[in-house]
Amino acid sequence: MARQNIAETVKPCPRLEGEVILPGDKSISHRAAILNSLAWGKAEISNFAPGKDCLATISCLRALGVEIRRGGPQNWPTLLVSGTGKDGLKGMVMLKEPADVLNAENSGTTMRLLSGLLCSQPFLSIITGDASLRSRPMGRLIEPLRRMGAEIFGRGKDSFAPLVIKGRELHGIEFSLPVPSAQIKSAILLAGLFARGKTILHQPIPSRDHTERLLKQMGAELKTESCQLNPLINPLAPVSFRIPGDISSAAYFLVAGAIHPNARIVIKNCGINPTRTGIIDVLLDMGAKLKMENERMEVGEPLADIIVESSELKGVEIGGDIIPRLIDEIPVLVVAGCVARGKTAIRGAGELRVKESDRIATVSRELSRLGAKIEPLPDGMVIYGGEPLLGAKVDSHLDHRLAMSLAIAGLIAKGGTTINHAQVVQVSYPAFWQDLQNLVD
């Protein structure tokens, strides 16, 4: 991402009120595009996530010969995917060799999931990304794929992108994931679709399961309890559906409504997949006035409307099995901890060190500029709540989740909070600044 600097200033407001229509869930959008590209037929995916990460996935799939068209309004686009289907003679997906290097931009999901798929394709491919993505660890992706017979290589002794992949016939494996990672799990499952024999995965802690849910909807033989996948016998069936609202995007408004002294926010059509609702569980534990209405299921995914109001929050301990269920929401939970009475401790979240930024370091540093008292730990942080926040100049470090978290802190900080490199919200939530403004007006 180019290092231009577009700054946004957030000021406290007397009232936060309104309704938020969320962008489509980013994780589900990636998977809907990739898996429907492997199906035999056409799918219409509405409310596809509009951010740059998912656009990177679309660009890579097009380079692999998939026909994808976009329609609908800018903030809630519709994706029309014509799947490549399956070659009954070769038993392989009919993707084509890309003429150039594939660019995942800033998207770890794009790089890791497509790498799993490309390992089974009968051609050479190279996939890279921006400077941030090229610094994120890829060794734990390469190891299990190699065990399946893949020829995959990375920079820095197979530790980093760019990745070079020479597709070949794979075999299924039984593998224990060393850390809970939906991206690594999904990459192995995508490779396992076209491998000889079963692929069985063991998870120390369950991570988000959107890939498994969608594969079952499309006809794959998958036992979700044991994460056991059989090779494809018949082509995947395309699935047309509306992507639920992204709970990771909802998190900013859930915290904003809870910490603001005069707020009531309604969040519509939000995905509440139980592998993703750690943010709701923690806020309720902190004392948030939060409730869900109109709960329902759509294409294997649960969703609901969520209402949050001004609350008196208290500090809590956050760690253990809940961490994978809220890893992306930790930056904004730290903001909640800054306002809560008492101490909030976050442990077991070392994965934050290797996100778009070192989120333990950057979240601690930038919120401290606003007057927060935060003690960084190797695998988390301790937040001493109740300190008044004062507006200041802060920086997103080109991390979309940090930019939006700082904006929420600015709503209750005395004076103006100016966030440098605020344009980075385009990665996941292009309409964020407008949606925030609509609640203030």
Catalytic residues, by residue number, are: 328
Element (H, E) at 62: helix 52-63
Contact present, 181 and 140 (Cβ < 8 Å): yes
Element (H, E) at 166: strand 160-166
**Tokens at residue 329, please?**
């929401």
Contact present, 430 and 50 (Cβ < 8 Å): yes
User: Is the bond leading into 162 cis (omega within 30 degrees of zero)?
Assistant: yes
Query: Coil, strand, or helix at residue 410?
Result: helix
Of residues 152, 26, 162, 169, the one with CA closest to residue 102: 162
Strands 8-10 and 241-242: unpaired
Of residues 76, 67, 77, 71, the one with CA closest to residue 36: 67
Tell me the backbone φ, ψ of residue 65, rounded to 5 degrees.
95, 5
Query: Coil, strand, or helix at residue 76?
Result: coil
The dihedral sign for the CA sequence 414, 418, 419, 423: positive
Contact present, 393 and 346 (Cβ < 8 Å): no
